[in-house]
Amino acid sequence: MLGRAIREQPRIFAVAVTGSVLFGLLVIASAYVVGGVVGEVVVPAVERGEVGGGVLALAAAALFGISVLRVVGIFGRRLGAGYMQYRLQAAYRRRVTRRYLDLPLAWHHRNSTGTLLSNANSDVEAAWYPIAPLPFAVGTLVMLVGAVASLFVTDWALALVGLAVFPALFALNVVYSRRMAPRQARAQRLRAEVSGIAHESFDGALVVKTMGREAQETARFAARAGDLRDALISVGRLRGVFDPMLETLPSLGTLAVLVVGAIRLRQGAITVTELVSVAFLFTVLAFPVRAIGWVLAELPRSVAGWDRVRRVLDTTGEMPYGEVAFDPATRTPATLGFDDVHFGYEPAEAHLPGAEVLGEVTFTVPAGKTVALVGPTGAGKSTIASLAVRLVDPGSGRVTLDGVDVRELTAASLAATVALVAQVPFVFDDTVRANITLDRDGIGDDEVWAALRLAEADGFVAALPDGLDTMVGERGTSLSGGQRQRLTLARALAGRPRLLVLDDATSAVDPRVEAAILAGLRTPGDGGASASILVVAYRRATIALADEVIYVEQGRVVARGTHSELLATVPGYVDLVTAYEQAEQEREQKRTYDEVAPVPSGLEMEVDR
C-alpha cells in the first residue's frame, strides 16, 4: 500500500524524503558539533578560566548554520508529506465515488448508504494516514544507519550499546503494531456502522417520528456508538501501555552510553568530545525514532481502511457502454423494443440462488405512441421501466432503441434519448432552476418554463417566493409530494427525450392534473412533447389515454391491446382496474367530505385537543 502511494506521487515523496534525510544527517552533525563545542571550547575555557571570543563566535556560527539547515529540512519534509497525503486522499475519494457511479443498482442494493459514505470518507482518510510520518520515518532510517556507522567510527563499545537499543525499538514497534491491528480494524468497521445507523435514522425521520420510535432509534444509535467508544478506548489503552516504553528506551540508551562512556573515558579509549557527542546523539535520536513508531502505529488502521476502499475499487460488475451514438440532431420519437427479455435480481448473499422476476417479456412501444404498463403489485412493472432506461441489463434477450441494443449505445447517447421519472421523486437541495437543468447545456429559462408548463408545475413555481431561484430544501422538503413529482417530470422533459418512461410518476398528483399532464405529453409543441411514452399506470383515466395497454402478471406479459379490448377479454385486468378505481373514488369522496363538511363545535374542540 505504501509502495502504491510512492508510485503515484514520486516527485512529492522525493521532496519530502530529501528534506527528512537532510534533517537526519544534520541531527548527527549537530551532535558532533555540540560535542566539539563542549570538548574543544567549553572544557578548555573552564580550565583556563577565560573564553576566547573568536572561538566562541565560530562555535555559535556552526550551531546556527546547522539549525537553519535543519529548519529547511523540516519545512521540505512536512510540506511534501502533507501535500502527498491530501492529494492521495482527494484522488481516492474521487475514485471511490466514480466507482459508485459505475456500479449497477444491484450492487448498491446490497450495500448500505452508511457503509458507502464511510468508504468514501473515513476509510479513505484512514488508508493514507501513514503518509504524513512516512518521509520522516524513511529519513530516520537513513539517520540511524549513519548514527550506527558514526558510533563504530567513534568506539566499538558505544556502538554495541546502539546496536542493542535500536533493534529493541524495532521489536517493540512490531509487537505494538500486531496487537493494534485487530483493534483498529474493529474500530474502523464500527465507524461505518455508526454512520449507517445515523444516516438511516435521519433519512427515515418521518417514519421515526410518526411511529413514535425516537427513543428506540436513540437507544439503537447509542448502543453502537458505545461499542465504537469502547473500541477506541481499547486502542487508547494499548497506546498508553506502549508509548511510555517507546519513549523510555532511547533514554535508557542515553544512560547506558554515559555509563559505558565513562568507563571508556577512564580507560583513555575515547575523549570528552566523543563521549558528549554520542550521549547527545542518543538524546536527540529519541524523537525521530518515534516517527517509525508513528508509521507502524497507523498501519493497522490504515490497512483496515485500505481493505474497505479496495473492496469498492476491485468490485466487478459495472455496465460498460458501447460506441454507437444516435445523431444528436434527431428529435423524432424513439421506438422501444423488448425481445424475449428475462431478468432476475442478484441475491444479497452470493451463495444464495437468484429468483427470476421477468420472463419472456416481448413488446414494442412504437415511435410517438403511448403504451401503458398495468399489473398487480410485484408483477415486474418497475423492473421493466428500469430495463427500458438501462439501469439494469437483462439476463437474456434484448432491449432496443430504434433497433439498436441499449448495451451498444454510448452513455451520452442513451442519456439524451431516454428519460425516467421514478416512483419516488428525488429533488436536490438546490434551486428549482438547478434541479431542472442539472447544468445541462442548451437548457435556458425559456426551456425550463416550457417544461414546467408541460408538467403543470409553472403555476406553483411562479408562486414561490423567489420563483426559479427558490431553494427547495433537502429532498425537496419545502414542496408537497405532488409538487416534487411534477418538478422531477419537468426535469426529464427539459432534456427533450425521445422516449419518456413514467414509473407511476404522477401517483401523488390530483387525477385532474394528471390527465392534463398526460394529455399535454401526447400533444407535440411547447417543450418538445413529441416523444414515445411508456407509463406504469393505475388510474383508469390514465390508462384510457394510452394507444396500447400491456398487462403483466408474475413477470409475464399476459395480454395486450387497447383499454376497452382488455376490459372485454381479461378478467384479471378488469378486477385490477376496478379495484384501483374504487379506491380512487373513496379517496376522492373523503377529500371532498373533508373540504365541505362542517365540524360541530364540540367535536372541533375535541379535534383541537
Does the structure show a pLDDT above 90 at 24? no
Domain ranges of the chain: 1-155+285-318, 156-269, 336-427+496-592
Q: Pick from 134-143, 299-308, 406-415, 573-582 the range whose average pLDDT is largest.
A: 406-415
Q: What is the pLDDT of residues 212-254, one digit of tens each?
A: 777 878 888 888 888 889 888 988 888 788 778 777 777 787 7
Q: For the segment 284-315, what is each residue's pLDDT rounded down to a tens digit?
A: 766 676 677 677 777 777 887 888 888 888 87
Residue 441 to residues 114, 173, 428, 458, Cα–Cα distance (Å): 33, 57, 19, 21
pLDDT value at residue 336:
93
Find where cell 402478471 sits: 553
Position 522 scores a pLDDT of: 66
Query: What is the structure's pLDDT at 269?
Result: 84
Q: What is the 3-state secondary structure (H, E, C) of 179-225?
A: HHHHHHHHHHHHHHHHHHHHHHHHHCHHHHHHCCCHHHHHHHHHHHH
CB 193, CB 224: distance < 8 Å: yes
Average pLDDT over residues 431-448: 85
CA separation for the pair 268, 157 (Å, rounded):
13
Q: What's the rounded mean pLDDT across residues 207-212?
A: 68
Contact 497, 417 (CB under 8 A): yes
**319 contacts 111 by C-beta, under 8 angstroms:** no
- pTM, to two decimals: 0.63
C-beta of residue 304 within 8 angstroms of C-beta of residue 185: yes
Cα 523 from Cα 534, distance rounded (Å): 15
Q: Could you identify the residue written with the cell 414546467?
A: 452
Q: Which three cell numbers stand for residue 175?
A: 509487537
Of 13-17, 102-106, 507-511, the range with the highest mean pLDDT is: 13-17
Residue 184: what residue type?
Q
Banded model confidence at residue 338, pLDDT cuts 50, 70, 90: very high
553 Rama class: left (phi>0) / alpha (psi -120 to 50) / beta: beta
- Nearest 5 degrees, angle CA 463-CA 467-CA 473? 100
Q: Which helix (H) or strand (E) holds 373?
A: strand 370-374
The pLDDT, as a whole number, for residue 405 is 92
Angle between helices 214-266 and 272-313 (to 10 degrees): 150
Q: In what order do the strands lie in the sheet with 418-421?
A: 418-421, 499-503, 532-536, 370-374, 548-553, 556-561
pLDDT digits (tens, 9 = 90+) for 489-507: 888 888 888 898 888 766 6
With both helix axes pointing from N to C terminus, report the angle between 511-521 and 445-454 in degrees, rounded to the nearest 10.
120
Radius of gyration of the chain (CA): 36
The 10s digit of each residue's pLDDT in 356-404 is 788 889 999 998 888 989 988 888 888 899 899 888 888 889 999 999 9
Residues forming a β-bridge with 361: 341
Residue pair 194/179 in contact by the 8 Å Cβ criterion? no
Q: ∠ CA 522-524-525 to the nearest 5 degrees?
A: 135
Q: Which amino acid, one-letter code, is at 72?
A: V
Q: How far apart are CA 32 and CA 379, in angstroms?
A: 84
Q: Looking at residue 605, what is its pLDDT?
A: 36
- For 194-208, 310-324, 431-445, 465-479, which range has the lowest pLDDT when averaged over its residues? 194-208
Q: Higher confidence at residue 172 or residue 590? A: 172
17 and 61 Cβ atoms separated by less than 8 Å:
no
Cell of 64: 546556527
Q: Residue 598 has what pLDDT?
A: 47
What cell does 105 get?
443498482
Cell of 42: 567549553
Question: Are 569 and 537 within 8 A, CB to CB?
Answer: no
Q: What whole-number distance in Å separates Cα of residue 420 and Cα of residue 583?
A: 27
Position 105 scores a pLDDT of 73
End-to-end CA distance of the chain: 64
Q: Are 455 and 486 in contact (CB under 8 A)?
A: yes
The answer to whether 423 and 431 are in contact (CB under 8 A) is: no
Highest mean pLDDT among 150-159, 332-341, 426-435, 470-479: 332-341
Give the whole-angstrom CA distance, residue 148 versus residue 203.
Answer: 60
CB-CB contact of 47 with 38 (8 Å): no
Residues in CB range of 587: below 8 A, 6 or more apart: none
- What number does CATH give the domain 1-155+285-318? 1.20.1560.10
Residue with cell 395480454: 559
- Measured distance CA(147)–CA(156) in Å, rounded: 13
What whole-number distance in Å separates Cα of residue 562 and Cα of residue 544? 8
Contact 516, 452 (CB under 8 A): no
Contact 43, 95 (CB under 8 A): no
**Exposure string for 347-384, b = 16+ CB within 10 A, e = fewer:** eeeeeeeeeebbbebebbbebbbbbbbbbeeebbbbbb
> How far apart, in whole angstroms, are the C-alpha atoms of residue 492 and residue 534?
14
Highest-scoring range by mean pLDDT, 17-26, 183-192, 247-256: 17-26
On the question of pLDDT at 528 being above 50, the answer is no
CA 204 to CA 539: how far, in whole Å? 29
What pLDDT sits at residue 581? 67
* CA 457 to each of CA 441, 495, 498, 506, 513: distance values in angstroms, whole numbers, following the listed order: 22, 16, 21, 12, 10
Grid cell digits, residue 577 = 382496474
Architecture of domain 336-427+496-592: 3-Layer(aba) Sandwich (3.40)
Q: Which residues contact 149 (CB under 8 A, 6 or more apart)?
A: none
Categorize the per-residue pLDDT at 601 as very low, low, confident or very high, splitting at 50, 70 and 90: very low
